[in-house]
Chain A
Amino acid sequence: KQEVTQIPAALSVPEGENLVLNCSFTDSAIYNLQWFRQDPGKGLTSLLLIQSSQREQTSGRLNASLDKSSGRSTLYIAASQPGDSATYLCAVESGAQKLVFGQGTRLTINP
């Protein structure tokens, strides 16, 4: 059974720092991995989707990497801003219509 873990559960950093969020999964047979952002009491916004054949994806200040063999993904946020404060969730697709989510990392960027 696929399990997805995100560490740390919460992270607080000063504005302007670069930071890395971690996601690990137990079964390397995945189709893709997605990173989502969730603001308090809101739905999810897709940030990046990495197909299983890809190693990384970039969007603006965000860069996500995927290492299937080790069951790991990282989300790198450059030059963090207070507006980046949110919960970040990763999810792996390990079957059709089958997204398995991690518990999320609650990120706080301090001005």
Chain B
Amino acid sequence: DGGITQSPKYLFRKEGQNVTLSCEQNLNHDAMYWYRQDPGQGLRLIYYSQIVNDFQKGDIAEGYSVSREKKESFPLTVTSAQKNPTAFYLCASSESGRYRETQYFGPGTRLLVL
């Protein structure tokens, strides 16, 4: 089955700790995205990548970092600089990242601070 997988489902972070969220897709899509969702709110774009070894900041990139070493993978690191990391994180992909494409979403990772 083609799709997007995210792991872990739940992640706990201690103060001052960096944590990495995994996102893998086997849809052969070029573009991948990371969103953050807070309770009762819509999604906000953190980072996106249209091609391997290239990525762009979204609206709320501060305190986050990404890499795109492989087409299938787009991990997100939540650094200690992100002071309010508790949220639901969603990864998505689309065929090329050009206009007018449907984005396909993974099941999400919920990050909680201890």
| Residue numbers in A under 8 Å from B31 (CB-CB) | 97
Q: Please classify the interface of chain B as helix (H, G, I), strand (E, B), loop, or mixed, using the class held by over half of its residues.
A: strand
Q: A60 at interface (Cβ–Cβ under 8 A)? A: no
| Residue numbers in B under 8 Å from A34 (CB-CB) | 102-103
Interface readout for A34-49 with B: 1 if CB under 8 Å, 0 if not? 1010000111111001
Q: Which of B6, B56, B104 touches A46 (beta carbons < 8 Å)?
A: B104
Q: How far is the CA of A91 from the CA of B94 in the complex (A)?
A: 15
Is there an interface contact between B107 and A97, defined as CB atoms closer than 8 Å? no
Number of A residues with CB within 8 Å of any CB on chain B: 26
Question: Which residues of B, 32-75, contact A by the 8 Å Cβ criterion?
Answer: 33, 40-45, 48, 50, 56
Is there an interface contact between B100 and A51, defined as CB atoms closer than 8 Å? yes
Residue of A nearest to B97 (CB): A97
Q: Which of A36, A42, A96, A104 touches B99 (beta carbons < 8 Å)?
A: A96
Given contacts A41-B110, A43-B90, A44-B90, contact A99 B103 (CB under 8 A): yes
Is there an interface contact between B43 and A43, defined as CB atoms closer than 8 Å? no
| Residue numbers in B under 8 Å from A66 (CB-CB) | none
Q: Please classify the interface of chain A as helix (H, G, I), strand (E, B), loop, or mixed, using the class held by over half of its residues.
A: strand
Is there an interface contact between A93 and B100, defined as CB atoms closer than 8 Å? yes
| Residue numbers in A under 8 Å from B90 (CB-CB) | 43-44
Q: A9 at interface (Cβ–Cβ under 8 A)? A: yes
List 8 additional contacts besides A96-B99, A97-B97; criterion CB under 8 Å. A34-B102, A41-B88, A89-B43, A91-B42, A91-B43, A93-B100, A99-B43, A103-B40
Q: Which residues of A contact B (CB under 8 A)?
A: 4, 9, 31-32, 34, 36, 41-46, 49, 51, 89, 91, 93, 96-104
Q: Which residues of B contact A (CB under 8 A)?
A: 4, 6, 31, 33, 40-45, 48, 50, 56, 88, 90, 92, 97-100, 102-108, 110
